Amino acid sequence: MNRRRQKVLIGAAAGAILAALLFWRANSTLRLNDHQTDEPSVRLAEKDGALGFPPAENVGKAMPLPARARPKTLSPTEIENLRSNAKMNLAGNYGAQKSYFSEYSRYSTDLYAVGWQPEGFPLPFKAGFLQPFFPAQLEPNEDPRRMDTDTIVADARGAEPGFVAYTPGAEPIALSSLSQYCQMGCTASERGFELLVAFNLDEDAGLDVWRINEKKKLEQVADDLIN
C-alpha cells in the first residue's frame, strides 16, 4: 500500500513539473510575439549613410551632389581654391629661384635646374618664361633646351623635361602669346626674374594669368571670367 502511494505521489510531482514547464514556454513565446512587427530586420548595409542618408554627424551640413547632378561650371568656391593653388605654386617657384640665386648669384629659366614643378593642379596649367635666359656661362645642371617653356612642353608631351612646366592638357596654352602681361619680358637675369602661370577656368579661349617676380610681387594680370 505504501509503495503504491509513493508511485502516485511521484507521478503527481512529475506531472506538476511538466505542466509548469509548458506554462513557462507558452508565456515566453507570447512575450516574444508581442514585440515582433512586420518590418524586416535591419541589415548592416542599412546603417546611416549606406542607403544615401547622411551619417548622424553630417546632419545639417552641406553634402556633395551625386556626380550626375553636379553643375558643369565651377562653383565660386572651386574657382577660389584653384586660384589659391596657382598662387601657392608661384610662391613655390619664388622660393626655388631664391635658393638658386643664393648658390649661383643669378636666376635661371631652366625650371628643372631650379628644382621646381607645378603640383596639385587638376586643370590645364602652364607656368614658365616667355624668353629663355642664356648667361655667359651655363651651370652644369642647366640645359638650354629646357629654357623655352612652350618648346619643351610641345616636345616632351608629358615626360621630362617638360613636366616641370605644365600639367597634363596644358600644351595648347601658349605662353609666347601672353607678352602683354609681362613687365620685364617674363624671363630671368642676374638681377631678377618674372614668371607667368596661365590656366583655363571654363570652356572659352580666355585665360586666368598670374605673375610673380624676384621681389615676390604676386598679382593677377588677366581674369578668365571677365575676359
Number of domains in the chain: 1
Cell of 128: 614658365
Residue 58 resides in a domain: no
> Is residue 69, in this structure, part of any structural domain at all?
no
Query: How far apart, in whole angstroms, are the C-alpha atoms of residue 17 and residue 138?
Result: 106
pLDDT tens, N- to C-terminus, the chain (227 residues): 555 555 555 656 666 665 665 555 555 544 444 544 443 333 333 333 333 333 334 333 333 333 333 335 788 998 999 999 999 999 999 999 999 999 999 999 999 999 998 888 878 889 999 999 999 899 988 988 888 888 888 876 655 566 678 887 787 889 999 999 999 999 999 999 999 999 988 878 889 999 999 999 999 999 998 86
Asked whether residue 111 is assigned to any structural domain, the reply reads yes
Phi, psi of 128 (to 5 degrees): 160, -155
Domain assignment present for residue 146? The answer is yes
Query: How big is the chain, counted in residues?
Result: 227
Q: Is residue 40 part of a domain?
A: no
* Buried-state track 173-204, b at ≥16 Cβ within 10 A, e below 16: bebeebeebbeeebbbbeeebbbbbbbbbeee
Q: Is 54 within a domain? A: no
Q: Is residue 109 part of a domain?
A: yes
Can you give the residue range of the structural domain that contains 94?
A: 76-222
Judge whether 218 lies within some domain: yes
